[in-house]
Amino acid sequence: MSAQNRIPSGIDYLPPLFQVIRNADRCIDCNVCVKQCANGVHVRDAQTGRLSTVDELCVDCQRCVCFCPTHALQICEAPNRYRPNANWTPQIMRGSYKQAGTGGVLLSSMGNPNEQTVYWDKLLINASQVTNPSIDPLREPMETRCYLGRRPTSVMRDANGAIDTSLPPHLELAMPMLFSAMSYGSISLNAHKVLARAARELGIYYNTGEGGLHQDLYEYGENTITQVASGRFGVFKGYLEAGAAIEVKIGQGAKPGIGGHLPGAKIVGDISRTRMVPEGSDAISPAPHHDIYSIEDLRQLVMGLKAATDGRKPVIVKVAAVHNIAAIASGIARSGADIIAIDGLRGGTGAAPTMIRDNVGIPIELALAAVDSRLRAEGIRNDVSLLVGGSIRCSADVVKAIALGADACYVGTAALLAMGCHLCRNCHSGRCNWGIATQQPELVKRLNVDQGVERLVKLMRAWNSEVMEFMGGMGINSIEALRGNRLMLRGVDLNESELEILGISYAGR
Amino acid sequence: MREDLARAGLLEGQVRIPAGCAIAAIVATDGKPMSGHDIITSMEPMRERSSGLGGGFAGYGIYPKYADCFAFHFFFDSRDSRKTTEAYLEQGCEVVNRELIPIRKMARITDEPLIWRYVIKPHRSVLSRLQLDENEYVVRLVMHINTSIDGAYVFSCGKNMGIFKAVGYPEDVGRYYRLEEYEAYQWTAHGRYPTNTPGWWGGAHPFGLLDWSVVHNGEISSYDANRRFIEMFGYRCTLQTDTEVITYIADYLLRRQKLSLQETAHVMAAPFWSTIEHLDMRDPEGARKRAELAYLRKVFPSLLVTGPFSIILGFNGGCMALNDRLKLRSLVAAHKGNRVFIASEEAAIRAIEPDARDIFAPAGGVPYIVRVDGVEGGLA
């Protein structure tokens, strides 16, 4: 066993969360599990040749379960437990033990897994009966294409009375979904290739995140959104010009108010080159943009980015959903930004301090509803487009988000699931057995790019088909007639304040 | 009954009430006046399409004596609400004439409110102080009265035109208002089959704003998307009906954005992207058309109206008939001599003009525009 895998004992000991169960009748001793587990859970004893497991190292990524040819493996919750206590939950106790041992900040990956109100699940969608007809998407045209960008407030004409059809730059999406920011570094180059190629095939976009754009991916520029975050990693003129749009990342739903952190161990080779950060040094984004301490500073950056690209790229400003989000969004709408992106409390991450992830920010559903209502109250909703993410899990979430007022949805975690992610939430370890959130070459190559693209394209097309079915049921044949159409939603299990913020009626009303 | 409905939250405006309907229009393209007789007759064969819960008419060219003034038609609940409204009107307008709208009592029309006509002219000094043109001023005046003065409702506010409506079958409503005594070059009509008991006269159609009047048959699925967009621009959808929001969309696009009727139709019943992309880019006209259609869809996406609808938008000087782009509601047109007929059913046209010619059904999303010679000063 390597040093890294040594299990402490005594006061430092953390009992395993999972138990790996091997069915001896099925096991054929093929060694696949040993080879597949980068965490060293499956061990063959050098002397006896017998297979055993080190449950403490298991992260429940399901890699061995999926690849065991005889399905001899199962991962279960470990039966050991602390004495039940509704206040001192096992997670909190475990966190205390860890911190007492290390003195460090607790880290987590992926979106907040705690039981929280998922408002999407409290919203129900309408359908036509009798008074107007539902529309069959298999037989009638059904439009899910949408455009993101600024719109003029009045129609201009030339001297002959013809409409001046010039418009600010727009993003054209074949379906109302796009892939949210995941940096090269936090995920592998193969994962980025999957996103880029799938985006091209689907007629949508992926987002570089804050790690710059790998040289090999410049050819997918037309389907790329290049992100500019507080660390400015990998940002130069060529990078800004390479994509279809530029996103200024102010905040992220999983860690509002703090910057990203990619450990020096991951800053190797191409990642160092792409990020423009010396090998081995930590890439730590500052918490704020140090040139944006106020809303007028944001305007200067937005205008600066537009000037750098001759006004040819729409600029997105991405913020985390926080308490004052409606006013913040209103300020952004007036900053010259073309698109506002809002990331909710349950949004994903490659690594975030656990306490921040689980306690800072507000749910995306409420943030979206509040922002859409505020922009309408101020008469500026049509000027800008609104993107939401964190977290959009399925086509029903997309339909509900659009009916609440979004133009389109950022999809992150679901795209990773298509590549094999099983949500073990250990991205920060860098030992992703599925080849996604890792930079270890032998793990990265496990993610077959062609297969990943195929699966991701299928997933998004399936969602789009479902979106069309929902629309047809409502008698709507164009996505723009669904946008902000809150009458198509009703709520259950919601209190008066929630209904008021969401701008919907209780089911039955 | 109205009180019961109000308590239950079911009154028009408190709840959204979809409705099926009959619509019709007669236009004398030479501008020759016609009494209301024919349009009433035209609605009779379509009785099955109404349920006696709402009928109404709009006549154009009926007030030549006051052609420069706005003719406000009011429903008042009480003398107090009328007095409050009158005081409010007089703050910014000259009231040129005020009278009860003449009616004919009949057993089938009951629960009538006080029905008044005020002919008004906004004071110039007020307009210049507010930096508004008279149309915008009148729109704001109407929005204020209808949302803020209890028991007062403006249901017609155009120049040289008027809307007449009530709870009842359309042919009864026409006779109730003695429409045979009015002379118009254009009439439109509506019979309503609401899926509820609205019980309030304000909920009947046509719906009007300035000289726009809309009669509509259908239930639009885009309603709330349209409503929430249009309410950004000062409109208040107090009735929660399709017709109301469609009227505001027409006013916004035609009067405020100064789009043509054709362009307005391309926003409300936009061609599918596949149709737009089918236009030949090598042909300069095709390329221009394509750029224009794409522009209108991109700039006004939230004014696309989906779901079944057939509408007749009336204005001074003509009308536009328009169907949803899938043509989910019937609408036919025909003509004879200088008269053009539009109706939900051919029977409505045959009832008054058995020899009407060239009967045709305008395609979904393709506007059918009728213009009256020599009538100017309208908004379209």
Residue A475 lies in a domain: no
Beta-carbon-side half-sphere exposure of residue A489 (alpha carbons within 13 Å): 31
- Report pLDDT for A29: 94
Q: Which residues of A touch B306 (CB under 8 A)?
A: 475-478, 481
Q: Which residues of B touch A142 (CB under 8 A)?
A: none
Contact (CB, 8 A) for B246 and B219 = no
Mean pLDDT of the region B266-270: 97
H/E element, B88: helix B79-92
Q: How far apart are CA B172 and CA B44, in angstroms?
A: 10
Q: Which residues of A touch B304 (CB under 8 A)?
A: 478, 480-481
Cβ within 8 Å of A, B 299-338: 299-302, 304-308, 325-326, 328
- The last residue of a domain, from among A74, A104, A134: A104
| Residue of A125, A128, A132 to mutate for B, most B C-beta atoms under 10 A | A132
Closest residue by Cα to residue B88 from B76, B103, B100, B102 = B76
Q: Which residues of B touch A146 (CB under 8 A)?
A: 301
Flag if A163 and B302 touch (Cβ within 8 Å): no
- The last residue of a domain, from among A104, A135, A154: A104
Nearest to B298 among A141, A147, A381 (CB): A147
Mark whether A100 and A180 lie in a shared domain.
no
Mark whether A323 and A417 lie in a shared domain.
yes
Exposure string over A152-164, b if 16+ CB within 10 A, otherwise e:
eeebeeeeeeebe
A507 touches chain B (CB under 8 A): no
Closest residue by Cα to residue A283 from A266, A250, A261 = A261
Q: Which residue of B has its CA nearest to A487?
A: B224
Q: How far apart are CA A408 and CA A376, in angstroms?
A: 17
Nearest to B292 among A135, A163, A486 (CB): A163
Backbone angles phi, psi at A145, to 5 degrees: -70, 140
Contact (CB, 8 A) for B185 and B22 = no
| Residue of A129, A150, A165 to mutate for B, most B C-beta atoms under 10 A | A165
Mean pLDDT of the region B303-326: 96
Residue A156 lies in a domain: no
Residue A370 lies in a domain: yes
Residue A93 lies in a domain: yes
Q: What is the ipTM of this complex?
A: 0.92
Distance from CA of B91 to the nearest CA of A (A): 28
A481 touches chain B (CB under 8 A): yes
Flag if A132 and B301 touch (Cβ within 8 Å): no
Q: Which residues contact B98 (CB under 8 A, 6 or more apart)?
A: B86, B116, B117, B118, B119
- Report pLDDT for A27: 96
| Residue of B16, B228, B241, B264 to mutate for A, most A C-beta atoms under 10 A | B228
Q: Which residue of A has its CA nearest to B254?
A: A155
Residue B51 bridge partners (DSSP): none
- Report pLDDT for B9: 66
| A287 or B239, higher pLDDT | A287
Contact (CB, 8 A) for A327 and A229 = no
Mark whether A181 and A99 lie in a shared domain.
no
Residue that is written with structure tokens 């400015």 in the block: A232
Residue A315 bridge partners (DSSP): A246
Flag if A483 and B18 touch (Cβ within 8 Å): no
Residue A496 lies in a domain: no
A142 touches chain B (CB under 8 A): no
Question: Number of helices and strands (H, E) in chain B?
Answer: 12, 18
Mark whether A95 and A194 lie in a shared domain.
no
Closest residue by Cα to residue A485 from B303, B249, B236 = B303
B319 among known catalytic residues = no
Is residue B200 very low, low, confident or very high in pLDDT (cuts 50, 70, 90)?
A: confident
B258 touches chain A (CB under 8 A): yes
Q: How far apart are CA A475 and CA A425, in angstroms?
A: 40
Residue A153 lies in a domain: no
Flag if A484 and B299 touch (Cβ within 8 Å): no
- Report pLDDT for A1: 43
Is residue B6 very low, low, confident or very high in pLDDT (cuts 50, 70, 90)?
A: low
A379 touches chain B (CB under 8 A): yes
Query: CB pairs below 8 Å between A and B: how many?
Result: 113
CATH number at residue A50: 3.30.70.20
Model confidence pLDDT, tens digit, residues B279-297: 988 999 999 999 999 999 9
CATH number at residue A295: 3.20.20.70
Mark whether A179 and A100 lie in a shared domain.
no
Residue that is written with structure tokens 């975050």 in the block: A229
How many C-beta atoms surround the C-beta of residue A168 within 10 A? Answer: 15
A147 touches chain B (CB under 8 A): yes
Q: Which residue of A has its CA nearest to B20?
A: A131
Model confidence pLDDT, tens digit, residues B109-133: 998 999 999 999 999 999 999 999 9
Q: Sort A97 into a burial class: Cβ within 10 Å, 0-12 / 13-18 / 19+.
A: middle
Contact (CB, 8 A) for B213 and B58 = yes
**CATH fold group of domain B18-269+304-371:** Glutamine Phosphoribosylpyrophosphate, subunit 1, domain 1 (3.60.20)
Model confidence pLDDT, tens digit, residues B333-359: 999 999 999 999 999 999 999 999 899
Closest residue by Cα to residue B284 from B292, B296, B273 = B292
Q: Which residues contact A165 (CB under 8 A, 6 or more apart)?
A: B291, B292, B294, B295
Flag if A485 and B223 touch (Cβ within 8 Å): yes
Q: What is the domain range of residue A59?
A: 3-104
- Indicate whether B1 pLDDT > 60: no
Q: Which residues contact B190 (CB under 8 A, 6 or more apart)?
A: B21, B22, B23, B54, B55, B56, B57, B165, B170, B204, B205, B206, B215, B216
- Report pLDDT for B199: 62
How many separate domains does chain A show?
2
Angle between helices A295-308 and A325-333 (to 10 degrees): 40
| Residue of B21, B222, B254, B309 to mutate for A, most A C-beta atoms under 10 A | B222
Contact (CB, 8 A) for B11 and B139 = no
Q: How many residues make up chain A in this entry?
A: 509
The secondary structure of A395-410 as a DSSP string is HHHHHHHHHHT-SEEE
Question: Number of helices and strands (H, E) in chain A?
Answer: 15, 21
Written as tens digits, the pLDDT of chain A (509 aa) is 444 557 888 999 999 999 999 999 999 999 999 999 999 999 999 899 999 999 999 999 999 999 999 999 999 999 999 999 999 999 999 999 999 999 999 999 999 999 989 999 999 999 999 888 899 999 999 999 999 999 999 999 999 999 999 999 999 999 999 999 999 999 999 999 999 999 999 999 999 999 999 999 999 999 999 999 999 999 999 999 999 999 999 999 999 999 888 878 788 899 999 999 999 888 889 999 999 998 889 999 999 999 999 999 999 999 999 999 999 999 999 999 999 999 999 999 999 999 999 999 999 999 999 999 999 999 999 999 999 999 999 999 999 999 999 999 999 999 999 999 999 999 999 999 999 999 999 999 999 999 999 999 999 999 999 999 999 999 999 999 999 999 999 999 999 999 999 999 999 99
The two structure tokens encoding residue B309: 């609808």
Contact (CB, 8 A) for A392 and A414 = yes
